[in-house]
């Protein structure tokens, strides 16, 4: 009888340990996914490369500085100038 209890106890411990191992593996997978997203991934057959976070931030920051016409900052500046000219043209002049 004590042998059966020992075997049952061992099975319970193994089952509990198995649950812990599964949870640890899930956490490690999430950490791995985060690292892959942070660093980016190279292209592979049928899947384009994905840039990492720092590379994407660099591209965003480049859009926030004037570069002679093609950045988002340049577009905003042109829209602002056009709006100011239209405002001057359409605002009634006082005599």
In the chain, the number of structural domains is 2
Position 2 pLDDT exceeds 90 = no
Answer yes or no: is pLDDT of 65 > 70: yes
pLDDT at 53: 93
Domain interval for residue 10: 1-41
pTM over 0.75, yes/no: no
**Structure confidence by residue, pLDDT tens digits, 9-61:** 776 776 666 677 778 889 899 998 889 889 999 998 998 999 999 999 999 99
Residues 34 and 70 in one domain: no
Distance CA 60, CA 26 (A): 32
Whether residue 95 lies inside any domain: the answer is no
66: which DSSP letter?
-
pLDDT at 20: 72
* Residues belonging to the chain: 95
Report the C-alpha gap between 52 and 44 in whole angstroms.
15
Examine the domain organization and report whether 2 and 37 are in the same domain.
yes
Assign 52 to helix, strand or coil. coil
- Other beta carbons within 10 Å of 62: 13
Distance of alpha carbon 24 from alpha carbon 28, whole angstroms = 6
The answer to whether position 70 is within a domain reads yes
The pLDDT assigned to 61 comes to 94
């Amino acid at each position: 009888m004590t042998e059966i209890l020992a075997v049952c106890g061992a099975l319970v411990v193994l089952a509990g340990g198995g649950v812990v191992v599964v949870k640890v593996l899930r956490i490690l997978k999430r950490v791995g996914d985060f690292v892959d997203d942070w660093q980016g991934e190279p292209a592979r057959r049928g899947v384009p490369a994905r840039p990492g976070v720092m590379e994407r931030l660099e591209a965003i920051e480049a859009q926030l500085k004037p570069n002679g016409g093609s950045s988002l900052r340049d577009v905003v500046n042109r829209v602002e100038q056009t709006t100011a000219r239209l405002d001057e043209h359409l605002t009634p002049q006082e005599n």
